Amino acid sequence: LQRKAMSSLKLYAFQGDFHALKCRIAAQYNGIAVDMPKFDRSKDATAKWFLEKNPLGKTPLLDTPDGAVFESNAIARYIARMRSDTELMGRSFFERALVDSWMDFAQQELEVAVTQWIYPIQGYLEYSADAEEQAEEDVAEALSVLNAHLKYRTFLVGDAVTLADICVVSALLYPMKFVLTEKVRAEYPHVMRWFLTCVNQPEIASVVGDVPLCAERMFAPGASAKGGKGKGKGKGGKGKGGGKQQQQGGKGKGKGGGKGGKAKAAAPAPAPAPEKPVDPFAGVGKSNLNMEVFKRMVANAPNNLIRAKDPEDSDDEDEYKRDYAAVMPKFFAEMYDHAKDSVWIIKYKHQHENTVDFMTSNLVRGLTQRAEGARKYCFGVFHILKQPQGDDKFIFPIVGAVVLRGTSFDPFREVSVDIAEYDVERIDPADEAAKARFVSIFGGQAGDQVEGLESMDCKWLK
């Protein structure tokens, strides 16, 4: 049945229907071919053949050998469940429930609002200022929930993309492109980290393509002339307290309404701006170590030939490998200030828990991605090692080597929520054995022996 279904699925949806994206992305992850016949919403949705499949006349609709499946979440689940090994529905009974929770969240808290906000812009729905205002508030509330949930998480459920991520990304795609400006996006940094991680996954990118983020907010045709009443700051749209016809005058109901509006009492003085948070690295003194110069020096480390191409094989190529350790003598001699800088070896506290390689890799990726506040002051690498445990079982220890401006690790702890799960050891470069150990970790690459174990993967903190 699965083989039969995989070869004869048809998804009906009109162009620009974001509800269909989740279904197409799930099919991409599961390697399932889904045909998308041309669908004219104005004609086909009321055609007899379509109403026989779905009397509601709504899209998307999936035509299968066993009959039609309607409602986008049901279609996405149907496709996701066609393969269990991809674990799009989660890895456990509990995770499957969480995936369902976030799918319902996407449908109830985002999709309804996005439809009211985006479809008028696309010309699929008549514009309503009240509906737009409510939609903007609902999306902002949903983004706040997502931002809090994603603060310490790479994905919504577990450590890999699931249908939960697919559904929420699909709902946010058009808002990110059309209406959520850079100023608005800045309020939700964890959502943006997650969103950009997702849309750059090959399976998702193959469906949604490049995702240029909104530079200037778009408005529906009616809104461009009349403006809205919401809380946003877009010109002529939902200016804070702006009345209808804010762009062209008219009877303004809000503060600063257009011509003809009654004069209002002077607005109260704005609240004082919040104090700028103190940079934990503000106390780090000047040093000869320019971290950006050091990073470029490492990036341009000697590129040595490690295997010459086979002259008998026209498709073969020479193999090269950067020798990062080769730049370290110059670094310690000319750039490193023993009184103002420091080098550290870092190890995960719970190595025995790292029993799945890609989950361990996600753990390290989360650490490197969420260390934004330290990037100007540090440079390092983290390895995922492979340690046999017998019976073809392994654990995957994490070890890193980091160069830090300043002599205390405390500022890094203040900007990185992940580092609390790691032990840090300061290395004295005057101790040649300790320095050699640091250099072997810093200069190691995937496939090398690091700390006596094979490095399966490594990720730079830069």
Cis peptide before 60 (omega within 30 of 0): yes
Provide the pairing of β-strand 9-12 with 34-35: parallel
pLDDT band at 244 (very low <50, low <70, confident <90, very high): very low
- Spatial neighbors of 335 by CB under 8 A, at least 6 apart, are 288, 289, 290, 293, 294
Show the tokens assigned to 182: 């850079």
Tell me the pLDDT tens digit for each residue of 283-326: 887 888 999 899 999 989 999 998 898 888 888 888 888 999 99
Residue 330 has pLDDT above 90, yes or no: yes
Distances (CA, A) of 103 to 2, 100, 112, 152, 172: 24, 5, 13, 20, 13
C-beta atoms surrounding 364 within 10 Å: 23
pLDDT at residue 385, rounded to an integer: 96
Give pLDDT, residue 224: 54
The mean predicted confidence, pLDDT, of the chain is: 85
Cβ atoms of 305 and 320 closer than 8 Å: yes
pLDDT bracket for residue 192 (50, 70, 90) = very high
- Per the CB < 8 A criterion, the answer to whether 249 and 229 are in contact is no
Predicted local confidence at residue 302, as pLDDT: 92
Q: Could you read off the pLDDT of 412-434 as tens digits, one per residue?
A: 998 888 899 999 999 999 999 99
What local confidence, expressed as pLDDT, does residue 221 receive? 82
Is the model's pLDDT at 126 over the cut of 60?
yes
Asked if 114 and 171 touch (Cβ cutoff 8 Å), the reply is yes
Specify the pTM: 0.51
Which of the pair, 240 or 44, is modelled with greater confidence? Answer: 44
Within 10 Å of residue 130's Cβ, how many Cβ atoms?
A: 11
